[in-house]
Amino acid sequence: MRDLRNLPYLTVLLSSWFALGLLLVLLLGVLLAGALTFLGPWLEQNWNLTFPTPLPLTWWYVFPLIPLVLILLYFLKLKRRALHVPSTFLWKKSIEDLHVNSFFQWLRRNLLLILQLLFLVGLGYALADPTYNSEARGRHFILMIDNSASMSCADGGEENSESGTGGRTRLEEAKRRAHDLVDRLDPSDQAMVIAFNDEARTVQSYTNNKRDLHAAIDSIEPTHRPTSLEQALALAEGQANPRQSGVDFTLPQAEDGLTAPRATERPEGITTQVHLFTDGRFQDMPDFRLGNIRPRLEVVGSSADNIGIVRLSLVRDEEEPDQFILAVQVANFGDEALRERVSVQMEVFNRQGKQDARIEPVNLAPRQVREVPTATEGKPRREETPGLATPQPILTFAFKDPGQGHVRVSLLDRKTGQAWKDIFPVDDVAWLAITPVRRARILRIGDANDILDAALRAVVQQQRAVVTSLEPSAIPNDPVYRLSTEVEQFDLVIFDRCAPPSMEMMPYANTLFIGQVPPLPPWGRELWSKMQPMDDLYVKEFLVSHPLMRGIETLQGMSISQAKALPPDVLPPRSSALIETQKEPVLWALGRGRYTDLVMTFPLVVEENGVKNIWNTNWPRQPAGTFPLFFDNVVLQLGRYKEYDESVRPGEAKPLELDVPVRSITVRRIDPADGTSVEIQSIPGRGLAFGDTDFVGLYEATWPDQKYRFAVNLFDVQESMVEPRRELRIGEEVVSGEEQPMRARRELWPWFVLATLVVLVVEWIVYQRRIYV
Amino acid sequence: MSNATDESLLSAEFLARLEQLELVSRKILTGRFKGDRLSKRKGTSVEFADYKNYVVGDDLRFLDWNLFARLDRLFIKLFQEEEDLHFSILIDNSISMDFGTPTKLHYAKQVAAALAFVGLVNLDRVALYVFNSDIAAELSPLRGRRSVWRMMNFLQDIKPAGAGNLSKAMKTFVLKSSGRGIVVLLTDFMDKAGFEEPLRYLVARQMDVYAIQILSQEEIEPDLKGDLRLIDIEDNDVAEVTVSAALIRRYKQNLAAFRAALQEYCNRRGICYIFTSTQQPFDQLVLTYLRQRGLVR
């Protein structure tokens, strides 16, 4: 350096370097002042830079004084320490000597000044808290991740992928995007994670711990449940405004009460960004009050191409009672008509194995989309109708009653004969369990009765009921009868011309009173004798809509010799007359808690002059078998006999009704088998129910000596219509699914602090070198 | 410094060793009283020096009758005069001497005490002068062992005072002291007016001059840091320095140059220049260095 100093241009450069340094410091200072004042909006607009300084503005007025004071100190050299020496003689000489070639000395001193000024300016920048694209600090996010059935669609890949059926499911894509978002959160941001389908669950409450958030997102598993946003939004709102004191009753109440305003827009409410990771397959919620929630739709999925089974139903063939008729409805949710592409396969399984299999080709029309103009909203509403099978919208299959078994209906690719492949396989298979789940447990109390006996015999023969018979004298002390009054031992108790002594002695079961009435208050046991007798009655009308009258078309010609009239003052609140004569109703359905007491105010047979079994009515002889039909209905409805088991939808609890008391039941999915089984413990006094029905399939419940199958099917047009929605209405806002990448808020002050530290270190080194080198 | 004065300037053992020493002058000097030394003057001692022709008026007692018998001419026998030595010690007590540990002044006093003791023991005429801007105090010539306590008391009482003006002090000294002899100058020579003029005064009187420059360690190896305002303790002159390694280096170079210049000046004029630091044991200085330089024997 010493030699270089002799080079004039370098000296000039070095000396001007000092001036440049000063200029730089000045420029930086002016820039900082500008950024904090007039340049602020421009920087925010063009550079996404903001300066949300935590210092009050008055401090900033004082801040420029610090460098000025520093410079002043340099000029005044106020900081020189006075020191007495014997003589300044040699010192003066030395200074004079050095002054001759003191350029570097001078430079060094001024290098310190520049470094110190730089340090101050850097500190100023750090204090100004420069933030790249910042919004308010400490934002609140709610990540709502849809894990309903339609999210299992395998089109979660990139929007423009060729096939649309990338390996990734929509849920996986949603989780990936949620992970992305979590990564971009500022450390001061709080986020929570909600998984929702038809119900919502908080997977992770508010935290800024990204690891927890990632783990929570990872923990979300797919389900086959339907979607409903309402619960999720309610949960989000409840969590979003934790300081909310409650409903603001000064807000106008909605008329229907259900859509009452929940949120109050209080000043202390927390503005919350809700990111909905979904395919939008749920109802709009125009009545929802968003309050502080700022929803943003993150649409996953791209394709609409899906076909699915939307309905299965089973009826017993009227003509051939040992045959069932299966009705299958298949719908096309895509825009492409499917001709000679798809066939429907039906397989019937009995206890031994496959009993029957049928393949029926089907042609499917494309879906229809209409724009329905709406009066209230500016935009027309989009209405989609799935395309059905042509020419017959409903396919039917007839098969022999397998006794106990199940039906499996699946869609096949007609070309390959293999299972149909589309992005949404959940609705391509459906099951129906054919299980005489339980026969009706009937207790018959009464003397011999030809008509009743014949009817019961038929029922028993058809494997529909188990009948226990007791003499009238068994009431109330027979152990079997007593048991029925204590636990739900029977489904139906038939009192044939007899009755329990009091309402307390009524069994825990539905009842059928024939020629008698329950001991209804206020008369109790005396009621029957108090009732008005009537003679020669004919049926005038009956309650067609009642389930017990299902299938009965006419009762014309039915007559009754003797009957009694039930006085209106004894009728319980829930009572309906099923059959009315020209005088008074003769068949009543009376409610008793969860049970129904069916009261026939006329006996079927009477005893006259010692001759038993004289018919009191011609009902059994009526054409079209209305009496057996009625009795069937009684056994079906009151005896709770079921021919097959209606499938439940994913997420719905499946009640399990058992003949025998058991301690626990094991339930597992057998088609598609996944190997896991769930054990349910029975709780005394409560019915057993299996709630773990998140996935479609055929389930088998096992308890000692018995097996019971039931099906879980999607059967949800909303879910099967897998085309993602690009916008939806929540409250007043139309939430669109446009890509709005959330730019990260990046605080830059640590960099400035780092820079000032570097400057400080350099300054320290320079200062040290001045002394020791 | 205050503590230093309280201490006895010289220890008993050191005094014992000093008794064996005597002052030596490289020049034959004249004294007023007959002393132990041979004088340049011819006198009444037993040491024969020379003959000279008798002229009228000469003391007949010194005629060499033997020579008159042989040569029949009158010669006067000249004898070497034995006389005492004029030994002056000049101590700088300016404030600048009040520096260092021990202070330069204390060190100077110790050296002065040792030399004065030697002189007194050998029946030399020892005079002490204290100066700053001028001669501030003096102790009239003493002789003999019994004057040691007076000399010690005088030294003990010296306090630092005033700014130094070496030149003026020397001028005054030269005017005051008529006789020639040994002059020991104890100072730091930190005089902005320079050292040439004061030394010239001494040289002009053909004195046997010993210039002992005493500097403190702080002056030789300054341990300074940072930005300082150096204030001259004597004239309040200010030097603002930003201490850097280069400056320290430059200072040391200047000090070395200053010493070299002083030495050269002294050598050329027959002045014995001795440089010492207060860190150097003064007994060592007296017993070793001054012996080597021929001041004591």
A506-524 burial, b at 16+ Cβ within 10 Å, e below that, comes to: bbbbbbbbbbbbbbbeebe
DSSP codes, B118-173: HHHHTT-EEEEEEESSSEEEEEEEE-SGGGHHHHHHHHHT----S---HHHHHHHH
ipTM (interface pTM): 0.77
Do residues B18 and B41 share a domain?
no
Give domain A140-249+256-303+723-744's CATH architecture: 3-Layer(aba) Sandwich (3.40)
What is the band of A166 on the pLDDT scale with cuts at 50, 70, 90?
Answer: low
When divided into structural domains, chain B yields a total of 2
Domain span at B58: 37-83
pLDDT, average across residues A151-175: 71
Does the beta-carbon distance from A83 to B244 stay under 8 Å? no
How far apart are the C-alpha atoms of A142 and A272, rounded to whole Å? 7
Indicate where chain A has its CATH 3.40.50.410 domain(s): 140-249+256-303+723-744
Do residues B127 and B182 share a domain?
yes
Asked, for residue B265, whether it belongs to a domain, the answer is no
Nearest-Cα distance to chain A for B238, in Å, is: 7
Probe site for chain B from A83, A87, A108 (most B CB atoms < 10 A): A87
Does the beta-carbon distance from B247 to A88 stay under 8 Å? no
pLDDT, average across residues A105-112: 62
Do residues B124 and B24 share a domain?
yes
> Which two tokens mark A729?
């209405």
SS3 percent helix, strand, coil of chain A, rounded to 5, is: 30, 30, 40
What is the reported pLDDT for A14? Answer: 61
How far apart are the C-alpha atoms of B296 and B17, rounded to whole Å? 12
How far apart are the C-alpha atoms of B230 and B237, rounded to whole Å? 8
Do residues B149 and B6 share a domain?
yes
CATH of domain A440-638: 3.40.50.880
Asked if A324 contacts A302 with a C-beta cutoff of 8 angstroms, the reply is no
A99–chain B Cβ distance below 8 A for any pair: no
User: With pLDDT > 70 as the criterion, what percentage of chain A qualifies?
Assistant: 84
How far apart are the C-alpha atoms of A177 and A680, rounded to whole Å? 37
Asked, for residue B245, whether it belongs to a domain, the answer is no
What is the reported pLDDT for A685? Answer: 58
Helices H / strands E in chain B, number of each: 11, 10
Helices H / strands E in chain A, number of each: 15, 38
What is the reported pLDDT for B80? Answer: 60
Does the beta-carbon distance from B230 to A83 stay under 8 Å? yes
Asked, for residue B226, whether it belongs to a domain, the answer is no
How far apart are the C-alpha atoms of B210 and B272, rounded to whole Å? 5
Do residues B62 and B195 share a domain?
no
Probe site for chain B from A2, A76, A78, A85 (most B CB atoms < 10 A): A85
**Looking at per-residue confidence, does A157 or A148 come out higher?**
A148
Of the segments A70-74, A404-408, A642-646, A739-743, which one has the largest average pLDDT value?
Answer: A404-408
Q: What are A542-599's pLDDT values in tens digits? A: 988 888 888 888 888 899 999 999 888 888 888 899 999 998 999 999 988 878 899 9
Asked if A346 contacts A338 with a C-beta cutoff of 8 angstroms, the reply is no
Question: If we measure between CA atoms, which residue out of A100, A101, A112 comes closest to residue A18?
Answer: A112
The angle formed by the CA atoms of residues A22, A24 and A25, to the nearest 5 degrees, is: 65
Asked if B120 contacts B127 with a C-beta cutoff of 8 angstroms, the reply is no
Element (H, E) at A534: strand A532-542
Torsion, Cα of B226, B227, B232, B236 (10° steps): -150
Nearest-Cα distance to chain A for B161, in Å, is: 13
Residues 6+ apart with CB under 8 A from B290: B115, B210, B274, B296
What is the band of A686 on the pLDDT scale with cuts at 50, 70, 90?
Answer: low
What is the band of A383 on the pLDDT scale with cuts at 50, 70, 90?
Answer: confident
E-strand ranges in A168-317 read 190-196, 200-207, 272-278, 293-299, 307-316
How far apart are the C-alpha atoms of A191 and A173, rounded to whole Å? 19
Do residues B60 and B88 share a domain?
no
Asked, for residue B249, whether it belongs to a domain, the answer is no
Residue A489, amino acid: Q
Do residues B19 and B58 share a domain?
no
Asked, for residue B61, whether it belongs to a domain, the answer is yes
CA A89 → CA A82, A178, B55, B214, B250, distances in Å? 16, 77, 61, 15, 13
B28-43 burial, b at 16+ Cβ within 10 Å, e below that, comes to: bbbbeeebebbbebbb
Q: Select the residue of B234, B245, B258 nearest A90 (Cβ to Cβ).
A: B258
**Looking at per-residue confidence, does B143 or A602 come out higher?**
A602
Residues of chain B with Cβ-Cβ distance to A77 below 8 Å are: 227, 229, 240
- According to DSSP, the residues that pair with A671 across neighbouring strands are A698
Do residues B114 and B54 share a domain?
no
Q: Does 2.60.40.10 match the CATH number of domain A307-437?
A: yes
Asked, for residue B287, whether it belongs to a domain, the answer is yes
Q: What are A334-364's pLDDT values in tens digits? A: 888 888 889 999 999 888 888 888 898 889 8
> Which two tokens mark A740?
């709005």
Asked, for residue B162, whether it belongs to a domain, the answer is yes
| Cis peptide preceding A476, ω within 30 of 0 | yes
What is the reported pLDDT for A247? Answer: 45
Asked if A519 contacts A527 with a C-beta cutoff of 8 angstroms, the reply is yes
Q: What are B181-240's pLDDT values in tens digits? A: 888 999 988 888 888 898 888 888 878 888 999 999 888 988 887 778 888 888 888 887
User: Among A124-133, A623-632, B39-48, B261-270, which is the least confidently predicted range?
Assistant: B39-48
Does the beta-carbon distance from B231 to A93 stay under 8 Å? no
How far apart are the C-alpha atoms of B161 and A93, rounded to whole Å? 25
| Cis peptide preceding A672, ω within 30 of 0 | yes
Probe site for chain B from A94, A95, A96 (most B CB atoms < 10 A): A94
The alpha carbon dihedral of B244, B249, B250, B256 has a sign of positive
Give the A:B interface size as CB pairs under 8 Å.
104
Q: Select the residue of A82, A91, A105 nearest B246 (Cβ to Cβ).
A: A105
CA Rg value for chain B:
23
Nearest-Cα distance to chain B for A79, in Å, is: 7
CA Rg value for chain A:
42
Do residues B211 and B65 share a domain?
no
The total number of residues shown for chain A amounts to 773
What is the reported pLDDT for A463? Answer: 72
Asked if B272 contacts B266 with a C-beta cutoff of 8 angstroms, the reply is yes
Region of A83 on the Ramachandran plot (φ > 0 left; ψ -120 to 50 alpha; else beta): beta
Torsion, Cα of A494, A498, A502, A507 (10° steps): -20
Q: What are A182-220's pLDDT values in tens digits? A: 888 877 788 889 999 888 888 888 888 889 999 999 999
What is the reported pLDDT for A610? Answer: 83
pLDDT, average across residues B66-74: 90
Does the beta-carbon distance from B244 to A105 stay under 8 Å? yes
Residues of chain A with Cβ-Cβ distance to B227 below 8 Å are: 77, 79-81
**Looking at per-residue confidence, does A283 or A175 come out higher?**
A175
Residues of chain B with Cβ-Cβ distance to A772 below 8 Å are: 245
Do residues B60 and B144 share a domain?
no
Does the beta-carbon distance from A93 to B254 stay under 8 Å? yes
A771–chain B Cβ distance below 8 A for any pair: yes
> Which two tokens mark A61?
């007025």
Residues of chain B with Cβ-Cβ distance to A109 below 8 Å are: 242
Indicate where chain A has its CATH 2.60.40.10 domain(s): 307-437
pLDDT, average across residues A735-743: 56
CA A220 → CA A184, A237, A649, A746, B33, distances in Å? 20, 21, 20, 29, 123
User: Which CATH number covers residue B101?
Assistant: 3.40.50.410
Judged against a pLDDT cut of 80, whether residue A271 lies above it is answered with no
Residues of chain A with Cβ-Cβ distance to B261 below 8 Å are: none
A84–chain B Cβ distance below 8 A for any pair: yes
Q: Return mean pLDDT, chain A.
A: 80
The total number of residues shown for chain B amounts to 297
What is the reported pLDDT for A287? Answer: 78
Judged against a pLDDT cut of 70, whether residue A15 lies above it is answered with no
- According to DSSP, the residues that pair with A706 across neighbouring strands are A703
Does the beta-carbon distance from A92 to B239 stay under 8 Å? yes
Query: Which ranges of A204-246 would DSSP assign to H, the alpha helix?
Result: 210-218, 229-240
| Cis peptide preceding A226, ω within 30 of 0 | no
| Three-state DSSP class for residue A632 | helix
Torsion, Cα of A69, A72, A73, A77 (10° steps): -170
Judged against a pLDDT cut of 70, whether residue B68 lies above it is answered with yes
Judged against a pLDDT cut of 80, whether residue A137 lies above it is answered with no
What is the reported pLDDT for B241? Answer: 80
Do residues B124 and B204 share a domain?
yes
Do residues B114 and B77 share a domain?
no
Q: What are A37-47's pLDDT values in tens digits? A: 888 888 877 77
Probe site for chain B from A73, A90, A96 (most B CB atoms < 10 A): A90
pLDDT, average across residues A667-685: 78
| Three-state DSSP class for residue B223 | coil
Asked, for residue B225, whether it belongs to a domain, the answer is no
How far apart are the C-alpha atoms of A78 and B229, rounded to whole Å? 10
Residues 6+ apart with CB under 8 A from B142: B116, B120, B125, B126, B127, B150, B151
Q: What are A422-444's pLDDT values in tens digits? A: 888 888 999 988 876 567 889 99
Q: What are A450-506's pLDDT values in tens digits? A: 899 988 888 887 777 889 999 998 888 888 888 888 887 888 999 999 999 888 889
Q: What are B116-154's pLDDT values in tens digits? A: 888 888 778 889 999 988 888 988 888 888 888 888 889
